[in-house]
């Protein structure tokens, strides 16, 4: 029963709900815009087992993220990720098991290790830029920078997880995870569990076994010859001894899977926004010249990162408008009250970083791309901006890779702007695609040439 002090969620007209439900699970962004306009940023959709609550109001999200984890379930019927990440992954776990798995990984993501990855990220970015420059005509050639970014992000994440020893497997990991992404983005009916051979689902299972074999071999190697490599997450998980080998495999798979598509899609949106905004690419290049040093070979560290202020704001502004997860699902494990609304137990809550990032009360001219909006904020404005910028979620179940992702995106865009001239093949921001991960349709085709040294 609904608590006396809480209101029922506002909903669109019953007749339109079936169509909205069908569309939101396929192409969420236009439906979210429509619902926010016609009903508001918090609303209910559907009935019975197909009951959704959409939460996109920043103040209500603040309340949602502050609730204890056991008010919600992540291992619910809409969470189709287990087939890829494995049943022992923190992403599909709840309660004490989630806590144990997450805290084990958390200690592997120490600040020391994160800072230690900075030179490797810059080095890998340079190598990706060298590949672009050596493959295109000096007069310029169109390159899909989304593809370049995907290869780069997988190179970085494989080194962060395994150190240099498995770096040679990066392209193979890229392929294994690409097929998993394609499967997860396929219509929901194709993801219904079954054991039929020769299907996309069977292929995902085979890929997962191939992945496990590589990780198992590496775990055995680390036990036989423990490494003192301070950057290697897998070595840290093995040395801690808190997780079984199966759990370790599932966490490593989740970290690569959750970090790969999200970060590369965000990079593609950043490239679009930074190249389409007049003068911004040149400003980014100038900042990078000043911070990295003109000879482009100064060592990079956490101070380098801290000085890439414009690159950081471009990252924040892009993720405000184009969060990789437009909606993220969790199920209400009990009756929950947020923002004065009652959300009954069993409802699937789609909280939306996309709606929060475009909220008119929180942001001035929310649809305009303006990285300078984060400059010179009063304490009150900063508080509003922080709580309305939620591409990595919030509370105890936020993104565990948020610092790594922000670091990567800031360093990569800065280095690319320093060394490349990129001109997109259209003046329009592309249409978004993807239910699980929001990315620009058609990738990021851009005319690439070497940027002259200033
Ligand atoms: C731009 C890049 C990224 C974005 C936008 C992003 C976004 C998110 C969001 C919104 C959540 C929370 C979902 C919820 O409330 O249920 C999440 C969870 C998670 N993310 Fe990320 N993520 C990014 C990159 C990464 C990276 C680089 C890693 C790891 C290397 C990572 C690993 C994870 C994991 C393991 C979880 C599940 C945490 C848990 O269940 O406790 N993500 N991410």
* 295 CA → ligand 1 middle, Å: 36
Question: Residue 250 falls within a domain, yes or no?
Answer: yes
CATH number for the domain harbouring residue 385 = 1.10.630.10
CA distance 161 to 255: 8
Residue nearest ligand 1's atom 43 by CA = 399
CA distance 348 to 308: 39
Considering its fold, how many domains does the chain have in total? 1
Q: Is the pLDDT higher at 229 or at 334?
A: 334
CA distance 427 to 166: 40
Q: Is the CB of 257 under 6 A from ligand 1?
A: no
Question: Residue 2 falls within a domain, yes or no?
Answer: no
Residue nearest ligand 1's atom 21 by CA = 399
Whole-prediction pTM value? 0.95
Question: Residue 1 falls within a domain, yes or no?
Answer: no
* 400 CA → ligand 1 middle, Å: 6
Place of tokens 């069908």: 22
| pLDDT tens figures, 60-114 | 999 999 999 999 999 987 677 777 888 899 999 999 999 999 999 998 888 889 9
CA distance 249 to 216: 8
User: Residues 84, 249: contact at Cβ < 8 Å?
Assistant: no
Question: Residue 395 falls within a domain, yes or no?
Answer: yes
Confidence check: pLDDT of 192 > 80: no
* 6 CA → ligand 1 middle, Å: 31
287-291 CB contacts, 8 Å cutoff, 24+ apart? 287/311, 287/414, 287/417, 288/414, 288/415, 288/417, 288/418, 289/418, 289/454, 291/414
Q: Give the three-class secondary structure for 179.
A: helix
| pLDDT tens figures, 293-328 | 854 556 788 999 999 999 999 999 999 999 999 999
pLDDT of residue 330: 96
Q: Is the pLDDT higher at 18 or at 422?
A: 422
Domain of residue 402: give its range. 7-450
Using DSSP bridges, classify how beta strands 348-351 and 52-55 pair: parallel, antiparallel or unpaired. Answer: parallel
Confidence check: pLDDT of 190 > 70: no
Place of tokens 């070497």: 450
């Amino acid at each position: 029963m609904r608590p006396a002090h809480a209101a029922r969620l506002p909903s669109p007209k019953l007749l339109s709900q079936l169509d909205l439900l069908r569309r939101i699970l396929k192409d969420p962004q236009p439906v979210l815009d429509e619902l926010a306009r016609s009903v508001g940023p918090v609303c209910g959709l559907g009935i019975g087992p197909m009951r959704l609550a959409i939460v996109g109001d920043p103040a209500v999200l603040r309340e949602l993220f502050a609730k204890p984890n056991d008010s919600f379930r992540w291992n619910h019927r809409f969470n189709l990720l287990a087939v890829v990440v494995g049943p022992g992954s923190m992403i599909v776990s709840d309660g004490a098991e989630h806590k144990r798995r997450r805290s084990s990984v958390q200690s592997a993501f120490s600040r020391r290790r994160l800072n230690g990855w900075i030179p490797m990220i810059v080095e890998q970015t340079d190598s990706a830029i060298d590949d672009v420059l050596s493959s295109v005509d000096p007069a310029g050639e169109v390159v899909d920078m989304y593809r370049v970014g995907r290869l780069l992000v997988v190179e970085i994440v494989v080194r962060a997880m395994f150190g240099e020893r498995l770096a040679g497997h990066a392209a193979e990991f890229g392929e294994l995870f690409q097929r998993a992404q394609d499967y997860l983005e396929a219509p929901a009916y194709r993801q219904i569990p079954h054991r039929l051979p020769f299907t996309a689902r069977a292929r995902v299972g085979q890929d997962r076994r191939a992945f496990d074999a590589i990780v198992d071999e590496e775990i055995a190697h680390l036990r036989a010859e423990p490494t003192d490599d301070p950057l290697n997450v897998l070595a840290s998980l093995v040395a801690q001894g808190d997780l079984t080998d199966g759990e370790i495999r599932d966490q490593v798979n989740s970290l690569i899977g959750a970090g790969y598509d999200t970060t590369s899609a965000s990079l593609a949106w950043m490239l679009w926004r930074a190249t389409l905004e007049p003068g911004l690419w040149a400003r980014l290049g100038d900042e990078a010249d000043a911070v990295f040093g003109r000879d482009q070979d100064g060592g990079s560290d956490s101070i380098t990162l801290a000085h890439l202020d414009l690159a950081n704001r471009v990252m924040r502004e892009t993720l405000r408008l184009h969060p990789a997860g437009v909606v993220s699902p969790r199920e209400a494990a009990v009756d929950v009250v947020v923002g004065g609304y009652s959300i009954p137990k069993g409802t699937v809550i789609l909280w939306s970083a996309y709606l929060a990032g475009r909220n008119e009360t929180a942001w001035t001219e929310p649809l305009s791309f303006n990285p300078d909006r984060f400059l010179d904020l009063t304490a009150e404005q900063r508080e509003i901006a922080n709580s309305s910028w939620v591409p990595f979620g919030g509370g105890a179940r936020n993104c565990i890779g948020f610092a790594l992702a922000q670091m990567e995106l800031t360093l990569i865009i800065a280095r690319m702007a320093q060394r490349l001239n990129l001109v997109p093949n259209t003046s329009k921001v592309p249409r978004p695609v993807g239910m699980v991960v929001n990315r620009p349709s058609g990738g990021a085709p851009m005319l690439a040439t070497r940027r002259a040294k200033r």
